[in-house]
Amino acid sequence: MQSRRDWLKASMGIGGLMLAPSTLLTAQEKENFQPRSLEPIIRLSSNENPYGPSKRVRERIKNSFEHACRYPYAYSDDLAEQLAKKHGVSPESIIVTGGSTEGLKVAGITFAANGGEIISGQPTFLAMMNYAEQWGATVKWVPVGEDKGYDLDAIEKQISSKTKLVFLCNPNNPTGTLVPAQKLVDFCGVASKKTIVFSDEAYYDFIEEPNYPSMIDAVKRGDNVIVSKTFSKVYGMAGLRVGYLIAKPEIAQQIRQNVVAMSNVLAVEAAKEALKDEEFYNFSLNKNKEAKQRIYKLLDHLKLDYVTSHTNFIFFHSKRDIRALGPAMLEKGVRIGRPFPPFYDWCRISTGTSEEVDLFIKGMLEIYQA
């Protein structure tokens, strides 16, 4: 396999320094933020933060083992109080879950099981809809617009007396699009008077638009809005499974009755420490921006269109069937995103470490310039 130094030399002749690898982490950064070695098959397929958990969080987990014999309820209550303070809501509005996915699933069945309707854009994150359908819910899909973003006008027109939830993933997965701020506020204000609006904000931290509103503001106003958050993305804790929902107390109480997994003591304690670790939080955001810029430059070089992303992944027009591109990239040692119907000639690629982005660039160049 070509070494990183050989790759650097080769890249100089393909688009010049535009495609050269970025600066490696310092020894201290590796210790604090990246305890893993490069894997034989790198995973740029699941929008995971390749850094972390941070050293501070790892130490908190180790020191929490003595509490692993305890049930997590009291520990989760403490985390809920911290989150309530962070977001300016009451602790009764916070529901700690086993990753935000559990929150999406339990919200879906709480309000839409046994014939209730959920409206959502397509494509989007499917956890809520797929699970709710197993419990008898129906789903009404509204295709994304030409910009690959949610068509809120079309969604609003579909709301009826049957509609129990409107699901928004904002920024959206897999497209990486962001609903214009005022349009989002206006939509939630109107739609939440007719039904419950669920706003999945898993990627909210990556938004670079100044003063972009969280729909937690709508919860504070008493609107029928539910917001989901997660420690999986910017905090680098996807494997620990801890997330949370925010809703006004009467809605939160309905959902809480269906929570199954909650989380565990080690994950909850890790989340508490992650909230304090601003150094890692900022490091993750900066490395994500760096990786996105390098991938944009590659896609520009290959003349492949893409959606400017507000997340830790990029959705680009591969011009090749993703069902063929995926295996081809896997042979290059890179796992990319799965198909997202109906966009079979589009690809979702997660940002990775500098070395991982190197391998993605190398694999793409070999395939597209063969």
Q: Report the top-level CATH class of 56-276.
A: alpha beta
pLDDT computed for residue 13 by the predictor: 46
Q: Are 242 and 233 in contact (CB under 8 A)?
A: no
Please provide residue 196's backbone torsions phi and psi, each rounded to the nearest 5 degrees: -95, 130
pLDDT digit string, tens, across residues 208-240:
999 999 999 999 999 999 999 999 999 999 999
For residue 8, what pLDDT is reported?
47
* Amino acid (one-letter) located at 304: L
Amino acid identity of residue 8, one-letter, is L
pLDDT value at residue 348:
98
The number of beta carbons lying within 10 Å of the beta carbon of residue 113 is 17
Per the CB < 8 A criterion, the answer to whether 34 and 25 are in contact is yes
Residues in the chain: 370
Sheet with 313-317: strands ordered across: 306-307, 313-317, 346-350
Whether the pLDDT of residue 190 is over 90: the answer is yes
CA distances to 64, 109, 234, 264, 304 from 279, rounded to whole Å, are 22, 38, 12, 25, 35
pLDDT at 57 over 50: yes
Share of the chain above pLDDT 70, in %: 94
- 239 near 220, Cβ under 8 Å? no
Confidence band (pLDDT; 50, 70, 90) for 54?
very high
Residues β-bridged to residue 347: 316
Contact, 132 vs 112, CB < 8 A? yes
Distance CA 137, CA 134 (A): 7
- Degrees to nearest 5, angle at CA 139 with 117 and 152: 90
Which structure tokens are listed for 121? 């854009």
pLDDT band of residue 207 (cuts 50, 70, 90) is very high
Q: Which residue in 252, 208, 262 sits closest to 234, CA to CA?
A: 208
pLDDT for residue 99 is more than 80: yes
What are the structure tokens assigned to 213, written together? Answer: 């509103």
pLDDT at 26: 85
Residue 153 has pLDDT above 80, yes or no: yes
Distances (CA, A) of 359 to 39, 194, 218, 245, 323: 11, 48, 43, 36, 20
What is d(CA 365, CA 370) in angstroms, rounded to the nearest whole number? 8
Tell me the pLDDT tens digit for each residue of 285-298: 999 999 999 999 99
- What confidence tier does 93 reach under pLDDT thresholds 50, 70, 90? very high
Is residue 170's pLDDT more than 50? Answer: yes
pLDDT exceeds cutoff 50 at 12: no
pLDDT of residue 19: 59
Residue matched to tokens 């690959």? 148
What mean pLDDT is reported for the chain?
A: 93
How much is the pLDDT for 3?
Answer: 54
Structure tokens belonging to residue 99: 């990753």
pTM above 0.85, yes or no: yes
> Alpha-carbon distance 102 to 220, whole Å?
23
- Mean pLDDT across 175-185: 97
Its CATH class, for the domain covering 4-54+279-368, is alpha beta
Lowest mean pLDDT among 3-12, 187-196, 227-236, 325-334: 3-12
* Domain residue spans of the chain: 4-54+279-368, 56-276
Sequence-distant (6+) residues with CB within 8 A of 187 are: 152, 155, 156, 179, 197
Which has the minimum average pLDDT: 11-25, 133-147, 346-360? 11-25
